[in-house]
Amino acid sequence: MSDSEEEISEKQFKIVLLGDSGVGKTSIAARYANGSFTKQFTPTPGVDFYLKRTTLPGQRNVAIKVWDVGGGGNGNGSVSRMLDKYVFGANAIVLVYDVTSQSAFENLEDWLSACKKHLAPSTSGGVQAKGPAFALVANKIDLEHRRTIKSDRHHRFAQENGLLTYAVSAKSGEGVDLCFQKIAAELLGIRLSKADQEQHQTVVRADIVTYRQERLNQGQSTASVKTAVCAIQ
C-alpha cells in the first residue's frame, strides 16, 4: 500500500477536552500523546492540540486529534464565547473533573449545557446530523484518599446525561490510553475484547518501603515483626 492509500484508509477523530482550569486536561492530553507528565501547572490559554495515531482491532488505523480547551471559564466565562468554534465538528466531547474538587464536578453541568446549546441538532436534506459522543472522565484517581466525589455520584451524573464514563490518573498514566482507545472504538462501533483492553492497561509502579526493625517493634513485647509497606506513589 502506498503512503497516499494508507493516509486515505486512516480514520480521523476530533476529541475535545472540556472542564474547569486545574482538573488536568493538559496532563491527560500530554500523557496520552507523549507519555509525559509534569507537576508544574500552567493554565492553557485558548486551546492546545495533540495528535496520536493508533490501531484498533481489524487493523483500523485511527488518528486521534485531541483539543485541550483552557478552563478559564465555564458556561458563563471567557471560554464560552469561543466554545462553539472549539466543539464544531467534534466526534467526541470529554468532560473532565478532578475527583478532589467539588466545584469542578458541579460546574460540569454548565459545560454540558453550553455544549448542547452550541450543538443543537441540525438537518441537511431532511436528515438530522449525528452529534458527538459525550464522555465523563474522573481524573486524579491516584488521590483516592482526598476524593470528594464518590463513584456513585459520578455514575449517576453519567447515566442521567447519557455519558460514557471513565476514571484515569494523568500522573500515573492509569486508564488514560484505555480511555481514548475505548472512545475511538465506540465511535467506530467496535467492541474491544478483554485482551485488547489489557494491551492498553498501564502498569502502575509501587515503591516498597521497608522500615527499620526497631521501629516495627516499638511498643511491642512479643516476637519480632517482619513487615514491608507497599506505597502507591
Location of C-alpha cell 483492553: 197
Question: Considering its fold, how many domains does the chain have in total?
Answer: 1
pLDDT higher than 80, residue 201: no
pLDDT higher than 80, residue 231: no
pLDDT at 233: 44
- Write the CATH number for 152: 3.40.50.300
Assign 192 a pLDDT band (cuts: 50, 70, 90). confident
Residues recorded for the chain: 233
pLDDT higher than 90, residue 6: no
Assign 43 a pLDDT band (cuts: 50, 70, 90). confident
pLDDT at 75: 43
Give residue 9's domain range.
3-204
| Mean pLDDT confidence for 100-114 | 94
Phi/psi at 83 (5° precision)? -60, -35
Within-domain flag for 212: no
For residue 15, the SS3 value is strand
Within-domain flag for 65: yes
Within-domain flag for 216: no
pLDDT higher than 90, residue 48: yes
**Cβ–Cβ < 8 Å for 30, 11:** no
In this predicted model, which residue has the larger pLDDT, 200 or 3?
200
Other C-beta atoms lying within 10 Å of the C-beta of residue 110: 16
Query: Can you tell me the distance from the alpha carbon of 49 to that of 126, in angstroms, rounded to the nearest whole number?
Result: 34
pLDDT at 208: 55
Within-domain flag for 109: yes
| Mean pLDDT confidence for 216-222 | 53
| Mean pLDDT confidence for 73-98 | 79
Supply the pTM of this predicted model: 0.78
pLDDT at 100: 97
pLDDT higher than 60, residue 73: no
Within-domain flag for 221: no
Within-domain flag for 230: no
Assign 74 a pLDDT band (cuts: 50, 70, 90). very low
Strands 92-98, 60-69: pairing is unpaired
Within-domain flag for 224: no
- List the Cα angle 194/196/199 in 5-degree steps: 110
Within-domain flag for 179: yes
**Cβ–Cβ < 8 Å for 29, 65:** no
Query: CA 110 from chain center: how many Å?
Result: 19
Tell me which amino acid residue 169 is: S
